[in-house]
Chains A and B, each alone.
Chain A
Amino acid sequence: MIVSIASGKGGTGKTTVAASLTRVWKRPLVAVDLDVEAPNLHLFLRPVIEESGPAWIEIPVVDESRCTFCQACSELCQFKAINVLGSVVLTFPEMCHGCGGCIAICPERAISPGKRELGEISRGRAGSTEFLMGRLKIGEAMSPPLMRQVKSRLKDMICASGRDAIIDAPPGVSCPAVNAVMDSDVIVLVTEPTPFGFHDFKLAWEAFAPFGKPMGVVINRAGIGNREVYSFCAEKEIPLLAEAPYERAVAEAYARGRIIADLSPEFRNIFVSLYAKIFELAAGTLLMEAPHA
């Protein structure tokens, strides 16, 4: 089972939830940080990194002596990363998504693959949990190709060990966020009950709902804000999986990189129950509870 922890905006406590859930997960698990632009799950899980290496993207290198300037590559590339202007082929490696299309289509075989470093992929272990993380280089914009590579590593790990996976997805509803939740079995949306939180939560729900995956909500900092999130969930039949109350102790724990589930037995129970509900949600046996208004 693959569970994505997502949120419509940053700062809702998505990573805290992912880390806490990792803590209480009973089955063998891989915890994955797919928020490659700003990974921070490791700050909570503190894994021992066992292996770390650069991630590359394949970019086109053109041999102009073989090129007939037929423009086939330039017509194909929707990212304008390879362009034919008269008798010049101009590439913009930083805009290339590494799809390999131009290399395949060139009738003169004038394009060969070169490589550009995107970032780094690290693998390690936090207790019995395996840990996987991608980190984009500073200033690098090409997160989907790096995420693809992290996901393919994850697939190998899952296939080899039969582990479950918890994915800490990038915040937001743009391409990287959608990309992260796309092939999970369950999506857990983390939000806070404030007007801003609700606004972004709604956008996230609208972006992810078309995938038809089991989806539930965790309300963080419950007790602040208003009831908008609750009534929206009731109306759309989005199950409320857990509520983590707003307490000073939580904010302090977060600031020190501590995991909420470790704070007290009460907090731990919130996530133990979340764990159970995620399996019920996946199996379709979760009963909708009327939100206590």
Chain B
Amino acid sequence: MSKIAITSEGPGLDDLVDPRFGRAAGFVIVDLENMNTSYIDNGRSQALSQGAGIQAAQLVARAGVDCVLSGFVGPKAFQALSAVKIKVVQNLDPGMTVRQAVEKFKRGTVQFAEGPNRGPGR
């Protein structure tokens, strides 16, 4: 596993994790091999009346990540991510920074989700 995406309130490792997936402010993409980061703004998804989760899944899929770390992932987003074999880690604690989430991931103390943890809707 080399690249992961974390839903984030801002562009850097010290920004807070955004618990939402589809309506997240953006995604911090971390290359685990060299810890290089980049940021994808999710503003367009936030403006959509439906399908924000799908749009977000498209964005992270295009970034070539293997795993998404977030708080809540809805059923359509989950289906979209599964379709391109992107793994999902959900239920990240609110108040965690992106860096803490990445460290947790690297320690291997996370669980890959079997299914969405949120009902349909936003």
Contact = CB atoms under 8 A, between A and B. Distances in A.
A201 to B, nearest CB: 26
A95 interface: yes
Interface string A81-102: 1011110101010010000000
Contact of B51 (A80, A84, A88): A80
A85 B51 CA distance: 14
Interface in B1-60: 48, 50-51, 54-55, 57-58
B76 interface: yes
A8 B76 CA distance: 32
Where chain B touches its partner, the secondary structure class is helix
Interface residues of B, number: 14
B84 A85 contact: yes
B102 interface: no
Contacts of A4: none
B48 A88 contact: no
A205 B50 CA distance: 27
B84 A86 contact: yes
A186 B54 CA distance: 41
Contact of A92 (B54, B55, B61): B54
For this complex, into which size category does the number of interface residues on chain A fall?
A: 10 to 19
Nearest to A87: B84
A7 interface: no
Contacts of B84: 85-86, 88
B96 interface: no
Given A85-B61, A86-B61, A80 B83 contact: no
Contact of A74 (B50, B58, B76, B79): B58
Contacts of B55: 80
A88 B80 CA distance: 9
A80 B48 CA distance: 9
Contacts of A85: 57-58, 61, 80, 83-84
A196 interface: no
A79 interface: yes
Contact of A90 (B48, B50, B62, B80): B80
Given A85-B83, A88-B84, A90-B83, A80 B50 contact: yes
Interface of B: 48, 50-51, 54-55, 57-58, 61-62, 76, 79-80, 83-84
16 contacts: A79-B50, A79-B51, A80-B48, A80-B51, A80-B54, A81-B51, A83-B54, A83-B57, A85-B57, A85-B84, A86-B84, A88-B84, A90-B54, A92-B51, A92-B76, A95-B76
